[in-house]
Structure 1
Amino acid sequence: MRKPLIATSTLVVASLALAGCSGDTGGSDSGESGDWPDSITISLVPSVEGEDLAEALDPLTAYLSENLGIEVNGVVANDYAATVEALGADQAQVVITDAGSLYNATEQFGAELILRDVRFGATAYSAVAYTNNPDKYCDDEPVMANYAASDIELSFCNGIEPGETSMGEGPAGLDAFSNIDSGTKVALQAATSPAGYQYPVVAMQDAGIDTDADITQVPVEGNNNAVLSVYNGDAEVSFAYWDARTTVTEEAPDVAEKVVAFAYTEMIPNGGVAVSSSLPADLTEQLTTLMDDYADSSDEAADVMFNLVGLSDWTSETAEDEITRYGEILALFSN
């Protein structure tokens, strides 16, 4: 049953092998309204590290505890996969995690997707194809558009940014992939990177390119190095998230002139929040509303959101089809 309002929250730092972190689900029927548990646990991978964890997480769990009237605890996961393991073992009933883990949580454990992450107004982003050879990959002269998040002017072609502000919405300009001919040096990140490898490889293969035989792969680590590989001439084409050029402006101030974006892949979903199907429906509903409203509840909350998980907001518009598509692409690279 519900407890009196809780003014404090507990932070448990663990690798999620702890046996004592599970919330008491109180025997309520899965997904139905009923008696609420005395406590629930949130598992997440924060952006901050070490001694800042308690300070960063406490305002969120305290906010939820006070407004739900039950104790809300926090467990820090070592990685995103561990959040799914925690939910499956009932060590956590709520997970704040990446898109792939959301898909696995819903598919493997019947979790309910309740919120999607919002970064700078967007719940999804494209992988960007960059080049230092616009004569080859651009059907028109590159134009400048403003990347509002950093207030930086960057260069684009093939009509992928028709307005004055860069929106990063794909798919766009993919016909230009036909110009990636045999032996072209293409910088690719680790095979686990959605924007630096997976979505670009799928897009190239859809364009008829054998990514193992037709191109010369140039391995790079990180989105900044993907941009720099084209900037420095180590590769003719590279891929990174929208818009990774902003990460190298200090060391490459003329990156907007030398590195042109010529295509966008289909959209890659941000992560979000999923809950265990064991939670009563009315608790899930109230939790969803509270977390959806959290970033707007105070200036402190907005700072916590950004510092804790690098977000500007959550939204209940979950766009589950994007998560499903993400799962399909993950499956292509599972081996």
Structure 2
Amino acid sequence: MLDRRSFVVAAVAAATLAGTASAAFAEGWKDQYPELSLAVIPAENASTTTDRYGPLADYLSKELGVKVTLRVANDYAAVIEAQRAGNAQIAMYGPASYARAVMTGVELDPLVVPRHSNGMTGYFSVVYVRADSAYKTIEDLRGKTLALVDPNSTSGNNAPRFFLDRAGYSVDTFFGKSFFAGSHDNAVLALAQGTADAAANSWNSEDDSNLTRMITKGVLKDAAGNPMKKEDFRIVFKSDFLPEGPFSVLSALPEDLKAQIKQAFLDMPSKDPKGYAALSDGKDKEFVGIDRAAFDPIIEMVKFNDAARKS
């Protein structure tokens, strides 16, 4: 029978062994995933996207203890296929591209979305025209040219198609021409430089949109190379509220790895405020958790657009 001193020693030893085993279990995923990849959709040009998300990859590397490599995709579909193939364990999606991934069988767990400084965890799709044009309403754009973003973009294709159709304006028949510019930046530039009469894009508030970020970075210029400001553009259509696109992980990842990735995102505003600010030019305040059900309306929107194209 153990005396009191022996019992205490045995208990301490047992606790130490348990703690060591727990730590080993917690780090066990590193043998399977000595390196992780973070794939992001091309909302901007490649160099600007790298500037925005590079600090996030560095931060995740530090927090997770393994190298996290940033992969800037050529288009939205490339992110979906990278996750389908298991080549990107973490990915940043727009709502519609996340919906498309789920609809095409990619097993994903959405983790977090940003909360903006205005308290919202979402945004709107808008149609811009130049303020010096004669276009004051959507009706004025009948037969004109619309710059879209990407087939899997929410604000740059799926939302304008859905909400304009609901308002009685089919993108495919109302406009004389529509084309995919490839990124949010390129769609705005097409409008600014005169190759489109209107452009679909994302919008959070008067002082927080893809357009204002382009202005802040000095990349928004007209055909003559002159810098432009937000007053040079006018919004003629705005969608209903849309949930932010999520940072997601492959469902097949170990549960402890998924939990660590999610916690790293939640901790980023306090642990790496400079890197976090780079993600939105300082316009977001925190990450918040999100679940799959939040994107059910977006899946229905994408299904509607698919059916409309087939009809």
**TM-score (norm: length of structure 2):** 0.60
CA contact 2:269–2:276 (8 Å) conserved in 1: yes
Q: Which has the larger radius of gyration?
A: 2
Q: Say yes or no: does 1:303 pair with 2:263.
A: no
SS at match of 1:114: strand
User: Per-residue deviation at 1:95?
Assistant: 3.3
Matches within 5 A, 1:1-150: 36-39=28-31, 40=33, 41-45=35-39, 57-65=57-65, 72-79=66-73, 81-107=77-103, 108-118=105-115, 122-131=120-129, 132=131, 137=136
Partner of 1:240: 201
Aligned pair count reads 254
Partner of 1:12: none
Give unpaired runs (5+ residues) of structure 1: 5-25, 27-33, 66-71, 138-175
SS at match of 1:278: coil
User: Per-residue deviation at 1:265?
Assistant: 0.9
Partner of 1:189: 148
* C-alpha RMSD of matched pairs (Å): 4.4
CA 238–49 in structure 1, closer or farther in 2 if over 3 Å, else same: closer
Q: Say yes or no: does 1:294 pair with 2:288.
A: no
CA contact 1:226–1:239 (8 Å) conserved in 2: no
**TM-score (norm: length of structure 1):** 0.57
User: Per-residue deviation at 1:261?
Assistant: 2.1
Give unpaired runs (5+ residues) of structure 2: 1-20, 41-45, 204-208
* 1:1-28, Cα deviation, whole Å (9 max, x unpaired): 7667xxxxxxxxxxxxxxxxxxxxx9xx
AA matched with 1:57: A
User: Per-residue deviation at 1:190?
Assistant: 4.3
CA contact 2:95–2:246 (8 Å) conserved in 1: yes
Partner of 2:14: none
CA 105–63 in structure 1, closer or farther in 2 if over 3 Å, else same: same
* 1:196-241, Cα deviation, whole Å (9 max, x unpaired): 3332222222122243333323658423235426xx6963x54332
CA contact 1:196–1:240 (8 Å) conserved in 2: yes
AA matched with 1:240: N
The CA distance in 1 between the partners of 2:235 and 2:49, in whole Å, is 37
User: Per-residue deviation at 1:62?
Assistant: 1.4
CA contact 2:60–2:264 (8 Å) conserved in 1: no
Matches within 5 A, 1:311-322: 312=284, 315-318=287-290, 320-322=292-294
Q: Say yes or no: does 1:270 pair with 2:264.
A: no
Partner of 2:16: none
The percent identity for this pair of structures is 17
CA contact 1:103–1:327 (8 Å) conserved in 2: yes
